[in-house]
Structure 1
Amino acid sequence: MHAFAQLLDSLIYTRSRTAKLRLIGDYLKNTPDPDRGWAMAAMTGDLDIPGVKPAVIRALIEERVDPVLYRMSRDYVGDSAETVALLWPTPETPMAAEALSVGAVVERLLTLPRGQAPAALAQMLDQLNAEERFALLKMATGALRVGVSARLAKQALADAFAIDVDAVEEVWHGIDPPYESLFAWAEGRGAQPTPANVPVFRPFMLAHPLEDLRVDLSDYAAEWKWDGIRVQIVHVAGETRLYSRTGDDVTRAFPDVASAFAEAGAVDGELLVKGEAQGIALGAALGGKGDEEGGGAASFNALQQRLGRKVVSAKMLEEAPAFVRLYDILLDGEEDLRALPWHERRGRLEDFASRLNPERFDVSALIEAEDFTALEGIRAGARDAAIEGVMLKRRDSPYVTGRRVGLWYKWKRDPLTADCVMMYAQRGNGRRSSFYSDYTFGCWTEDGELLPVGKAYSGITDEELKQLDKFVRNNTLNRFGPVREVEKTLVLEVAFDSIHESKRHKSGVAMRFPRIARIRTDKPAAEADTLAGLRRLVT
């Protein structure tokens, strides 16, 4: 546990991607099985210990430390694991020294009945120092937050053992932690694992932002970028799985889609929820085609009701039926099509889709435009609830992992903006835990009441963060645990992708991807936007 604790501590204070890769790689090369495998599972988000949840940890510390002291300390520190690690008392009777390994800790917590896990966790915390307690709690709750993505951890493994990261990705979901067969291959002690007969995840092809570039439409095809979640659907040996862009298995949340996909192969598409087509401009942009070729998708807000659910009720399946708008094809049966140029894959995709249930699958329509100038006009005129922008794909591009310059571009629609008044603020996490960096903002009703319409923490520079933090501290009216209510005098220009009706919010609306565009110190709060004005933007 000591080596893993040192790794996490080093990663927290390291910003360089190259340095993080080296730190993780050194740990993996110098740590035996199964410790390094469980550490990889923790770093990639694949470790789940059912008996250890935040509520369990909170109950344990509040049995040993004054609850008010703990909550005030948690508010100040901004991280539960760090707070508990520092406050955990030394036992009156010191326990016999025993070096706890990562593997021993994980395997014990995983095999114990759920009711016995809290006592076992407390016993382990009694044996460790503060740094090791922090590592144990982070690992056990699956919330490391040390600036390491799953892809970065896999890249570090590949770099450390000089193997192909794409080969690692292709078999990752077919191997269970602690990945001993993977490390055996990496060290030359075993054969390379293969995805045969297992519906494994394959890395997505991604796009670069278009920014100020103009392209020739004789070289690039244009299609709509739909506002759902990108998924990969794989059917092998009678089994179907749905994967998110990060490789998470979301099959159980969308059984209606999984059960309808019984054609051997792998496809890439956008997971959406059915709804009435919205926006006359969209229909015009698609050349007057019907819903079956372009519309029919509800807003992301409708899809969000189904995300993250382990069990989906029959009522939800009926009220929010999911479907997938297909973008590309990776495998047709056992044939790998990724090396083919896009225009050939497109033909294969259309043929493959014709064999699927049309209630659950369709192909994303191409945008017909004479030239780039005409495409600009089409993009500007289409603001549908389910459209996020336009994709531009080089017609001769293979399907390759990650972002490759010049192959695919994403051209998101211009954001909407609104002038809102800051109402509440809360400390952030990680390196922002000392600053009030999460802001709730609102707009005026006809009666002059300010109602919250969103919350944002991104879009500001470090200097702007300091400016806003100072405002919060100097203008606090009330405190509600970690939240501060502030004087309603500061206007923030908020950018957002779209806005939707919402029964969960008092204002009745919810913003999609809100972020702070700028601080409007020049504008009086009374002149901020109204809720009625926001409602006119609802899609």
Structure 2
Amino acid sequence: MRSFSKLLDRLSLEPRRLAKEALLVRYFQETADPDRGYALAALTGGLTFKNAKPALLRALVSERTDPVLFALSYDFVGDLSETIALMWPAHANSQADSEEAVAPDLADIVDQLEHAGKTDVPRLLISWLDTLDETGRWALLKLVTGGLRVGVSARLAKSSVAKLGSLNVSQVEEVWHGLSPPYEALFAWAEGKTEQPDIDDPAPFRPVMLAHPLDEAKDLELLAAEDFAVEWKWDGIRVQAASGKNREGEPVKRLFSRTGEDISRAFPDIMDVLSFDACIDGELLIVSQDKVRPFSDLQKRLNRKTAGPKLMRDYPAAIRAYDLLYLEGEDLRSLSFRERRKKLEAFVAALSEPRIDISDMVPALSWTEIAAARAEPGHLLKDGNAEAVEGVMLKGWETPYVTGRPKGLWFKWKREPKLVDAVLMYAQRGHGKRSSFYSDYTFGVWREGDEGPELVPVGKAYFGFTDEELREIDRFVRNNTINRFGPVREVSHDLEKGLVLEVAFEGLNRSTRHKSGIAMRFPRISRLRWDKPPSEADRIETLKALLPVEG
């Protein structure tokens, strides 16, 4: 546990991706099985402990410290694990006080938590927290709550395993879902000690191919428009639907996110129609009456463990297919996009399944035509559903399906973001490296109230600004706080005094959950408008005019 604690501590303080990868590689090289496998599982979200919840941790620390002091400390620190680790009373058996005390192994902790009953977990946690030092306590609490927040993605962790030998991360990802913690076979393969694990998985994840943003200033001069297929970029989430039969002839079906997360249980309506031996790459959307619904409707289905009949009936999911990666025993990824597209068209037509259709090609042959389609897609779409289009995708006709983000093969050309001037209303501390700064912002626009103009919240954002701008906003929040609601600070925001933020966003949807009746899609801070008084910020009518037409 001590080496795992040190790893998390160093990862949390290291901002550079390559340096994080080097730390992980070294840890995996120096740590024996099964500890390194459980560390990998923790970093990739593969460990869950049903009886170790944040509420239990709060109760344990409240029994040992002043609850008011804990609440104030938690508000200041902004991280539950860090607060508890710092406030947990020193114990005679702690490593800080006794060199003879032995920290529990990571594998022992995982094994005991997985097999512990609900009444056993408090005793185990107390004994470990009493034994560990501050860093160890923090790492333990991060482990049991699952919120590591050390800036390591699942892909980076897998990439670090691949670098133990001559593998690449795509090879690791293709066998990943056929393995389970502590991944001893994976490490042996990565280190060249054994052959690739024999995975009986007819529906594996196939690492996705990604696109580069189109650089209008350079790429339009260098690239020939006729070399690229042009598709609509739909406003959903990228998914991969794989289906087949195992050696016993039993069907295996999976729906993956673009990062390889298995989201099958949340979309049983999609799983019901995966009756083929193939793997398709596409966009998950909510579609009813042949029309793509707003992204906010899809959000009602995301991040759920499963979906009930009413949710599926009200928000029916569908896949709009982009590509065909595998078909009846044949891996198609080495074929050109032109060849794969022909096979995809035939496959979807033969499937004849309403929940799986094909993304139409954009009828544009020159950069002028492509730019016009991107700017005004409505007249080219069969249903005029322009609000569901984020822009266009450009895919080289002769390109194979290559894992990762290869240069020069695929490009995405998104529509210009919309901008609005809003007034900062509330701020909250961030997490991790930002826990000392007020970096999560709620902003609003003006509407006419009973007593004159009033601000109504229209969105939240926590990125888009530079480190220097973050310090400027944090200083403004601290110097202009007029009220506090737990961890949230209300700042001055009247017609004369306040901070105007230029907010960029991808689109708007109607929402009954928000006081303004509006939900923003991907809002981020574009720039700070110190030059603009709050009275000149936008009004709610400006945003309502941008809402998609109902029908």
Give TM-score scaled by structure 2 length: 0.92
| Inter-partner Cα distance in structure 2 for 1:157 and 1:234 | 25
State the Cα deviation string for residues 407-464 of structure 1 (Å, max 9, x = none). 0101111111111111001111121111111110011122222111000011111111
Which residue among 145, 148, 155 is the counterpart of 1:144? 148
Which amino acid is the alignment partner of residue 425 of structure 2? M
| Inter-partner Cα distance in structure 2 for 1:318 and 1:13 | 46
Aligned residue in 2 for 1:520? 529
Which residue among 265, 271, 276 is the counterpart of 1:263? 276
Aligned residue in 2 for 1:202? 206
Determine whether 1:486 maps to 2:491: yes
Deviation, structure 1 residue 92: 6.2
| Inter-partner Cα distance in structure 2 for 1:163 and 1:438 | 39
Determine whether 1:505 maps to 2:510: no
Alpha-carbon contact 2:5-2:136 (below 8 Å) kept: yes
Alpha-carbon contact 1:224-1:390 (below 8 Å) kept: yes
Alpha-carbon contact 2:237-2:283 (below 8 Å) kept: yes
Which residue among 463, 480, 487 is the counterpart of 1:458? 463
Deviation, structure 1 residue 195: 4.0
Which secondary structure does the structure 1 equivalent of 2:516 belong to?
coil
Aligned residue in 1 for 2:16? 16
Which residue among 469, 477, 481 is the counterpart of 1:472? 477
Task: Name which of structure 1's ranges 53-62 and 204-213 shifts more when overlaid on structure 2.
Answer: 53-62
State the Cα deviation string for residues 492-539 of structure 1 (Å, max 9, x = none). 111100010011111111000000111112222112111122111112
Aligned residue in 2 for 1:121? 125
Task: Name which of structure 1's ranges 182-191 and 16-25 shifts more when overlaid on structure 2.
Answer: 182-191
Aligned residue in 1 for 2:339? 344
Which residue among 412, 415, 418 is the counterpart of 2:417? 415
Distance change (3 Å), C-alpha of 1:168 and 1:422: same
Which secondary structure does the structure 2 equivalent of 1:234 belong to?
strand
Aligned residue in 2 for 1:280? none
Aligned residue in 2 for 1:288? none
| Inter-partner Cα distance in structure 2 for 1:75 and 1:163 | 44
Distance change (3 Å), C-alpha of 1:472 and 1:408: same
Deviation, structure 1 residue 299: 1.0
Aligned residue runs from structure 1 range 63-74, under 5 A: 63-74=63-74
Deviation, structure 1 residue 258: 0.9
Which secondary structure does the structure 2 equivalent of 1:123 belong to?
helix
Aligned residue in 2 for 1:180? 184
Which amino acid is the alignment partner of residue 532 of structure 1? E
Which secondary structure does the structure 1 equivalent of 2:334 belong to?
coil
Which amino acid is the alignment partner of residue 282 of structure 2? G
Which secondary structure does the structure 2 equivalent of 1:426 belong to?
strand
Aligned residue in 2 for 1:282? none
| Inter-partner Cα distance in structure 1 for 2:118 and 2:393 | 47
Which amino acid is the alignment partner of residue 144 of structure 2? A
| Inter-partner Cα distance in structure 1 for 2:415 and 2:324 | 26
Aligned residue in 2 for 1:109? 113
Aligned residue runs from structure 1 range 417-432, under 5 A: 417-432=419-434
Deviation, structure 1 residue 30: 1.2
Determine whether 1:91 maps to 2:100: no
| Inter-partner Cα distance in structure 2 for 1:164 and 1:498 | 37
State the Cα deviation string for residues 468-502 of structure 1 (Å, max 9, x = none). 11111111000111110000021111110001001
State the Cα deviation string for residues 113-151 of structure 1 (Å, max 9, x = none). 234223212221111111111111111111111111111
Deviation, structure 1 residue 355: 2.9
Determine whether 1:29 maps to 2:29: yes
| Inter-partner Cα distance in structure 2 for 1:371 and 1:129 | 64
Distance change (3 Å), C-alpha of 1:196 and 1:80: same
Deviation, structure 1 residue 90: 2.1
Which amino acid is the alignment partner of residue 259 of structure 1? D
State the Cα deviation string for residues 9-33 of structure 1 (Å, max 9, x = none). 1112222222211111111111111
Aligned residue in 1 for 2:296? 301
Deviation, structure 1 residue 162: 2.6
Alpha-carbon contact 1:51-1:118 (below 8 Å) kept: no
Deviation, structure 1 residue 467: 1.0
Deviation, structure 1 residue 93: 7.3
Aligned residue in 1 for 2:542? 533
Q: Which runs of 5+ in 2 are unaligned?
A: 246-250, 379-385
State the Cα deviation string for residues 207-245 of structure 1 (Å, max 9, x = none). 100022213221001100111111111102111100101
| Inter-partner Cα distance in structure 1 for 2:129 and 2:156 | 29
Determine whether 1:2 maps to 2:2: yes
Which amino acid is the alignment partner of residue 223 of structure 1? E
| Inter-partner Cα distance in structure 2 for 1:481 and 1:170 | 45
Aligned residue in 2 for 1:251? 264
Aligned residue in 2 for 1:323? 318
| Inter-partner Cα distance in structure 2 for 1:482 and 1:469 | 14
| Inter-partner Cα distance in structure 1 for 2:109 and 2:136 | 12
State the Cα deviation string for residues 34-54 of structure 1 (Å, max 9, x = none). 100000011111211111122
Which amino acid is the alignment partner of residue 446 of structure 2? W
| Inter-partner Cα distance in structure 2 for 1:132 and 1:78 | 19
Alpha-carbon contact 1:353-1:361 (below 8 Å) kept: yes
Which secondary structure does the structure 2 equivalent of 1:39 belong to?
helix
Distance change (3 Å), C-alpha of 1:245 and 1:322: same
Could you tell me the percent identity over the aligned residues?
52
Which secondary structure does the structure 2 equivalent of 1:274 belong to?
strand
| Inter-partner Cα distance in structure 2 for 1:496 and 1:32 | 47
| Inter-partner Cα distance in structure 2 for 1:10 and 1:145 | 12
Aligned residue in 2 for 1:392? 394
Aligned residue runs from structure 1 range 309-388, under 5 A: 309-382=304-377, 384-388=386-390
Q: Which runs of 5+ in 1 are unaligned?
A: 277-290
Aligned residue in 1 for 2:136? 132
Aligned residue in 1 for 2:381? none
Aligned residue runs from structure 1 range 438-457, under 5 A: 438-447=440-449, 448-457=453-462
| Inter-partner Cα distance in structure 2 for 1:193 and 1:431 | 38
